[in-house]
Structure formats: C-alpha cells, structure tokens
Amino acid sequence: MNFALFLLVLLIVTGLVWGVEGMTLRRRREAAAAQALSRLDAELSNEPDEQRTRIREERRARLLKQPWWVEYSVSFFPVILIVFLLRSFLVEPFKIPSSSMVPTLLVGDFILVNKFTYGIRLPVANRKMVQLGDPQRGDVMVFRYPEDPSLDYIKRVVGLPGDRVEYRNKRLTINGQVVPVRQVDDYLSRERMQFSRRYIETLGTVDHEILLEDDAPAAVLPTRAAAGNCNYNSNGLACTVPQGHYFMMGDNRDNSSDSRVWGFVPDENIVGKAFFIWLNLNELGRFGSFR
C-alpha cells in the first residue's frame, strides 16, 4: 500500500469516527450521563454541598469521557485532512534516492513538488480532473515509474508528444535541432571521488547542468518496453515520442536509467513539477529553488 492510499484510508476511518461522534456517540453519552447524575444527586442529597459538587463533577467527567479510539480519531482527523489536501493538490515532499539528477539534485536532497502546475488530479487514482498546464522541455518532473507505478522517479523533460528525439554520441537533437551545450569546469563527485565533464545545456528556456563521462559508452541497452518507437545502434538512439507521452532523461547522463532504457512516461503517470530544495542533512547549505 503506497502512502497516498494509506493516508486516504486513515482519513476515511477517522472522518467516519469524527462524524459519528458528533451526530450520535456524544449525545448518547450525554443522555446516559444525565440519567446517572440524576440518580447520584438522590444518593448524595444528605452530603455537604461542596463534597456533593466535587463527586458530581468527577462522575460527570468519567461518564462523558470519549473512548480512546474516538479521542484519537477526533484529534487527528483535522490534521490528517490538512496533510491530505496539501500533498494531494498543492505540494508534496520527496527525497532524492539516487545520483541520476546530479549535479542539479544530490542524493539526500529533500524537495518539494508542485502538484497543480500540470493540472489537478484525483488523489490515489491520479486521474486528471482539471487541465491547468502541460510539461515543458527542461522541467524537472516527478512521475510514477511506467514499469512499476508504485515507485516515484524524477527526471528532466526532454521530449514532448510528437517530438523526434535523437541521442547519438552523447549529443542531444530534438526535431532536427541540436540542443546547444557549452563546457564548463569539471564536476567532482564526492561519493565516487571522480571527475566528470560538466556542460550547460539549454532545453527550451531552461539552462541546466549535465554530466558526461569519457569512458562510458554512447550505446544504450533498452528493455522491451522502450523498443517500440525507438531505433538503437552503437552510437545511441532515435525515438518518436507518442501522443500523451514524454521522453525523460537524467542530468547525470551516463548514470541514469531513463526513457532511453525503459521508454516513455504517459501523462497519467505524472505526479508534479519539482521546484524547491528544502533540506539535505549532508549539506545543510542546500536550500532554494532550482531549474
């Protein structure tokens, strides 16, 4: 069970208890307490007023006390509701588990994902209800992995529906136009203690960094899912992106399993647009937006 489904089930259960408590259970306890206190008043009629009042209040508190499962449900329901609405329709936090998006995103980065940029979707089912926008080249997007939708992946949008995408000898071409790049200082990976060639690539209006490794082959070994609309050879591949799908690539080009390997991302798998780093426990200074 994924977390969104777990949260939905928890919301429904606590919401039902919250509703039943407000409409039925509380009234039953109040009615039962009134009868019990009436009998208690008769029994304590000869007791001093101060003692009678104290005993009556203690008994009343016990009679009206919510069962533990009602108390917890009523207390947590508003919190669960707010969290569910926020992560379903506004922003959702994610943690970067791999190095496929280095140097833009590092392992251990906690990021925020905008859930409404590409439209409002039905929670859990992820079915689009309201169209607000479409992914653009250069966007960093979170999506459900096509071969296992229980997993969330993050990559950069390279090809839009209908695009002809070629990646040969580690140069990217879209619709016959070579994507411009310029080389900058090499990047030192602290995890691998290895330098990689670093470039600034321009996808649409987005300038972003990519990494290439001299000793990595240009050829890609696809899975069966990727072979349909793509042609592969020893220099790379060429693909035509189907309608309603997107071609995704990691910025760490030679260390990323992406659309070159497992194929295209359908629109119904989109989760949202990543836009903000809010924490990295290994590098506390990493905070802010990215492209």
What is the rounded distance in angstroms from the CA atom of residue 264 to the CA atom of residue 228? 10
Residues with Cβ within 8 Å of 198's Cβ and at least 6 positions away in sequence, in order, are 103, 183, 184, 185, 186, 187, 209, 210, 211
The CA distances from residue 202 to 18, 34, 44, 90, 241, in Å, are 52, 74, 85, 28, 20
What is the rounded distance in angstroms from the CA atom of residue 218 to the CA atom of residue 234? 7
- In the Cβ-directed half-sphere of 78, how many Cα atoms lie within 13 Å? 3
95 has catalytic annotation: no
Is the torsion defined by CA of 202, 206, 208, 213 positive or negative?
Answer: negative
Token output for 75 = 């207390």
45 has catalytic annotation: no
Question: Which of left, alpha, beta for 218 (phi over 0: left; psi -120 to 50: alpha)?
Answer: alpha
Residues with Cβ within 8 Å of 70's Cβ and at least 6 positions away in sequence, in order, are 17, 21, 25
Please give the radius of gyration of the chain, using alpha carbons only, rounded to the nearest integer. 29
Please identify which of the residues 73, 99, 100, 259 carries the catalytic annotation. 100
Please identify which of the residues 115, 155, 170, 273 carries the catalytic annotation. 155
Token output for 207 = 């300038």
What is the rounded distance in angstroms from the CA atom of residue 286 to the CA atom of residue 291? 14
- Residue reference for tokens 């449900």: 73
| Residues assigned a catalytic role | 100, 155
